[in-house]
Amino acid sequence: MFFDPMYFVFLAPAFLLAMWAQWRVHAAYAEAQQMPAPLSGAAAARLVLDSAGLNDVAVEAIPGHLSDHYDPRDRVLRLSSEVYQSRSLAAVGIAAHEAGHALQHGLGYAPLAIRNAAVPVASFGSGFSYLLMIAGILFGFHQLVWVGIALFGGVVFFQLVNLPVEFNASTRAKQQLVQLGVIDQQGLVYVRRVLDAAAWTYLAATLQSLLTLLYYVLRFTGGSRSD
């Protein structure tokens, strides 16, 4: 019950896609990191934010590799040290993508608001859904199994809503970098490779959550009927 080889077979497509996506991200990032840009990642993010009137959004450096993110609660765009300092196409692409989230926030982009609201449910569901399902099976509380499955459904919902949020941020990033003259059409090729590669990681995560939910439904509901 606690170790099922079929789980890995069931999720093999998602695992393989995730491995390929990570390889593509690292390859695209390494290539674009070698291509110079006229601004650092921090300067590019600042330019995108200021051009949208978001002068109150701060840009800060944080430790870690590709730890870049936008914090809507504190209205701070946090960039990894490498992205913050580097004057490369990889850095300006990633920085502009995160600035795209700040633009979404400033414009009241509905999918972003929905995603942010779903974060607590997704965080709780990813940690406790499996425990509830196991407890339901062990003690014969089938309702508890369904509660666990429903909680994990919150994770799936978050992943699904996250897709348009991330895709839209990348689209905004590419448009802003070109319109503001940070990159030309040749530079856009490298930025697009980095952001498109990152998009595959979001797709892989969504596929994994969907297949996991389907596995739970088939495994636990099927098992509870036979117990």
Q: Is 98 a catalytic residue?
A: yes
Phi, psi of 59, deg, nearest 5: -120, 120
Mapping DSSP to helix (H, G, I), strand (E, B) and coil, where does residue 47 land? helix
| Close Cβ partners of 13 (under 8 Å, ≥ 6 residues apart) | 207, 211
Cβ neighbours for 218, distance < 8 A, ≥ 6 positions apart: none
| Given the residues 31, 60, 98, 166, the one annotated as active site | 98
Calculate the alpha carbon distances from 123 to 46, 48, 99 in Å.
31, 31, 24
The order of strands in the sheet holding 76-80 is 58-62, 76-80, 69-71
**Two structure tokens written together for 155:** 């994770």
Instruction: Judge contact between 38 and 182, C-beta under 8 A.
Output: yes
Length of the chain in terms of residues written: 227
Which positions are annotated as active-site residues? 98
